[in-house]
Amino acid sequence: MKKLIERIQREQSLRTVLAWSFFIVSALILLIAGLGQIIYNYQTQREILFAQQQAIAQDAAVDVSDFIEDKFFVLETAVSLENVATVSPEDQERILGNALGFQPAFRQLALYDANGQLLTHLSRLVASRSQAFLTGTQRSIDEVAQTDRFISPILIDDESFEPLITIAVPITNVFGDFQGILAAELNLKFMWDLMDQLNVGEAGYAYVVDREGNLLAYADTARVLRRENVSQLAEVAAFIAGENEIEHGAFVGNGIENEDSVQTFAKLESPDWAVVTEVPTNEAFRDITATVALSSVFVLLAAALAGGFGILTARRIAAPIVTLTETAAQVAEGNLDLRTEVGGNLEVVRLGNAFNNMTAQLQELIGSLEQRVAVRTRALEISGSVSRQLSNILDQQELVTAVVELVKEAFDYYHAHIYLFDDKGENLVMVGGTGEAGQQMLANQHQIPAGRGLVGRAGQSGQSVLVADTAEDEAWLPNPLLPETQAEAAVPIAIGGQILGVLDVQHNIKAGLTQADVDLLEAIASQVAVGLRNANLYEAAQQQAAREARLNEINQKILRTTNVDEAMQVAVREIGRALNASQTIVHFKRDELPETFGDTKPLNGALVNGHKHNGQ
């Protein structure tokens, strides 16, 4: 640019030099500002596109995982309610028959004992088509015995051409001893139907792969039946390599139909599969390209208009234009705090004012962008802090207390508290709150019926509720302990489709809560749901471990006794202590008494010949 101006200075008059200089500076400023806006819009639209596609993949992955989880739940329920390996054959057939009738996706069920002997087999198929399933499950007994859940590779039925897998769960007694397995042959045509119904843009597609890259479900079923391996695709390779789909983001490259596409994947929780989505690049970037093109036209048009106006007005400017040109050059270099000195005739004064206004608007625009980036960065930092703290807390009360305190302190809210549903799912009981008001409500065992007020509405509907001005909402329930509340947001705490409770925040500023707050609170509520689930699982595991340890301790004490009388006394005493019973009684029938007792010898802590003794 400097060389161009010097050339104009050598060849043209001062008036022309000023006109051309103003044109170049004005156009350059607009082009820089416009280019920055275009780049920002492009990045924003690109991130939105990737996020939408990732959401589609994750929703499909959740559907497939829920389908498999539901079938495992049926098997685990069947073996947990009754020890199906030890009941009568009639009861075994009844239990398996109920499971087979309840789940149409089950083609057949088989029950084996610990030695691999078939106890009961029910099937929707003819006997000749059941043998492969029975042979496969019998070979897998040792593998099932060493794991909680077993999933076989996918097989394609030779006659129906439907995808099948075998799932199995071990059967154990109360002491954890392996008793056998319950196996089911599961029809996965559900996945094919899901992939067919999934809308990925206008011309996009989705498919399911396993950890080896084998194609499990796709619109072109012929490729699935051929067991095609697509591990060469970038997203599939990323899944096989164990990369995290969120950190990996999206990839633009050659897809499953050998055309350039935008690709994302989402891992299933169980089994170890992934859902991959693809959208052709021409469709994916169509709106982005149009936006960039339109923005470019407007920027160029604005630059041309500004430059033309500069040339027309600069021809009538003398000395003041030099100062204005120097100022414009400095602004173009990034000094947005600089303002030109307005002076000269009316035209120059107006031009100087327009230039100053333009610079101020540009500075305000850039400052607004920086502020938005800072707010977003702060939100991500807080969300990450919540996630890190929750991952280390396994006590429910400690968890909810930490969450409400962190949320209130981080965003300077007026109040924050957490409600959880009671056992009947009818009322939301407050379990954590901030400040003296929170402690008072906890002491009063404060609760809200489902469906009532903002909290009850969020808990019943599973949708976040935002009220920017509580005075204008008829459903809002005032709390005398929180008299300054003017805005409130209630966000459901849910996981796997189950609503556990509600995270509620209140502000003493009208319109002090916005959708941005709700979006962040929803992310925090999801982390709270995971934390609550982990805390419940940890508590259950602790209780189970304590029970097993106590049983083992009693067993060891009994084994250390030297005679039956002493063994019975130890058993009575320890069982009484374990159950915290004031009196423990053991009943014997006369014909079942050990010979060493005789007919009249009493046992301390046992009922013998109608006489009762306390075990102390």
Tokens of 339: 């303002």
What pLDDT digit, counting tens, does each position of 366-404 carry? Answer: 766 666 566 566 666 766 676 666 666 777 788 888 888
Confidence of residue 531 (pLDDT cuts 50, 70, 90): confident
Residue 69 resides in a domain: no
User: Quick check: is 554 in a domain?
Assistant: no
Express each pLDDT in 76-105 by its tens digit. Answer: 888 887 778 788 888 888 888 888 888 888
Same domain, 531 and 397: yes
Are 239 and 214 part of one and the same domain? Answer: yes
Q: Are residues 202 and 162 in the same domain?
A: no
Highest mean pLDDT among 286-300, 416-430, 551-565: 416-430
Most confident of 390-399, 523-532, 593-602: 523-532
Give dist(CA 9, CA 18) in Å, integer. Answer: 9
Do 409 and 514 sit in the same domain of this protein?
Answer: yes
Supply the pLDDT for residue 16: 67
Same domain for 453 and 581, yes or no, is no
**Contact at 8 Å (CB) between 413 and 506?**
yes
Verify that 170 and 228 share a domain, yes or no.
no
Asked if the structure places residue 403 within a domain, the reply is: yes
Average pLDDT over residues 203-222: 86
Looking at 372, 403, 435, which one is the last position of a domain?
Answer: 372
**Same domain membership, residue 324 and residue 241:** no
Whether 499 shows a pLDDT value over 50: the answer reads yes
pLDDT at res. 507? 93
For the chain, what is the mean pLDDT? 79
Q: What is the DSSP string of 408-452?
A: HHHHT-SEEEEEEE-TTSSEEEEEEE-HHHHHHHHHTT-EEETTS
Sheet holding 251-254, edge to edge: 215-217, 205-210, 273-280, 260-267, 251-254
Indicate whether 476 belongs to any domain. Answer: yes
168 and 208 inside one domain: no
Minimum mean pLDDT range among 54-63, 434-443, 606-615: 606-615
* Residue 330 domain-assigned (yes or no): yes
Could you report the per-residue pLDDT of 539-557, keeping only the tens digit for each? Answer: 777 778 777 788 888 888 8
pLDDT, position 307: 65
In this predicted model, what pLDDT tens digit does every residue of 122-143 receive, in sequence order? 988 877 678 888 888 888 888 8
Chain segment 315-359, per-residue pLDDT in tens: 655 566 667 676 777 767 767 676 766 666 666 677 777 767 777
Whole-number Å distance between alpha carbons of 77 and 490: 35
Region class of 334: left (phi > 0), else alpha (psi between -120 and 50), else beta: left
Q: How far, in Å, CA of 530 to CA of 396, rounded?
A: 11
504: which 2 tokens? 């509620």
3-state secondary structure of 226: coil
Tokens for 97? 């028959």
Mean pLDDT of 158-182: 86
Of 116-125, 224-233, 544-553, 584-593, minimum mean pLDDT range: 584-593
Contact at 8 Å (CB) between 144 and 181? yes
Strand partners, 278: 205, 263
- Sorted by sequence, the CB contacts under 8 Å of residue 116 that are 6+ apart come out as 138, 141
**% of the chain residues with pLDDT over 70:** 79
Average pLDDT, integer, range 504-518: 90
312 Cβ partners below 8 Å, 6+ apart?
A: none
The answer as to whether 489 is a domain residue is yes
Q: Domain of 105?
A: 82-187
Which residue among 187, 217, 246 closes a domain? 187
Q: Find how far residue 467's CA is from the centre of its chain.
A: 25
Query: Is the domain of 132 the same as that of 263?
Result: no
Q: What is the per-residue pLDDT for 54? A: 78
Structure-token pair, residue 553? 């301790």
Residue after which a domain boundary falls, among 187, 208, 231: 187
How would residue 603 be classed by pLDDT, with cut points 50, 70 and 90? very low
Q: Is the pLDDT of residue 614 over 50?
A: no
Cβ pair 575, 554 in contact under 8 A? yes
Q: What are the C-alpha distances in Å from 214 to residues 170, 221, 261? A: 28, 13, 20
Predicted pLDDT of residue 609: 33
pLDDT at 313: 64
Q: Span 176-183, mean pLDDT?
A: 88
Cis peptide leading into residue 483 (ω within 30°)? no
Question: How many separate domains does the chain show?
Answer: 5
400 and 313 within one domain = no
Of 179-188, 208-217, 292-301, 558-567, least confident by mean pLDDT is 292-301
pLDDT for the residue numbered 162: 82
> Is 350 in contact with 312 (CB distance < 8 Å)?
no
pLDDT at 433 over 80: yes
Flag whether 477 is in a domain.
Answer: yes
Asked whether residue 254 falls in the same domain as residue 304, the answer is no
Comparison of pLDDT for 334 and 423, the residue scoring more: 423
- The verdict on 307 and 365 lying in the same domain is yes
**pLDDT: which is higher, 339 or 412:** 412
Residue 599: pLDDT band (50, 70, 90) is very low
Q: Which two tokens stand for residue 539?
A: 């508590």
CATH of the domain at 174: 3.30.450.20
CATH of the domain at 500: 3.30.450.40
Beta bridge partners of 253: 261
Percent of the chain with pLDDT over 90: 10
pTM of this prediction? 0.42
Contact 194, 273 (CB under 8 A): no
Supply the pLDDT for residue 487.
93
**Tens-digit pLDDT profile for residues 6-32:** 554 544 555 566 566 766 776 677 678
Residue 596 has pLDDT above 70, yes or no: no
- Cβ burial of 293 (10 Å; 0-12, 13-18, 19+) is exposed
Residue of 268, 272, 270 lying closest to 57 (CA atoms): 268
Q: Transcribe 462-511 into DSSP letters.
A: -S-EEES-GGG-TT----TT-TT--EEEEEEEEETTEEEEEEEEEESSTT
Query: Is 160 within the bounds of a domain?
Result: yes
Q: What is the pLDDT of residues 39-62, one digit of tens each?
A: 877 777 777 777 777 787 788 788
Spatial separation of the C-alpha atoms in residues 138 and 141, rounded to whole Å: 6
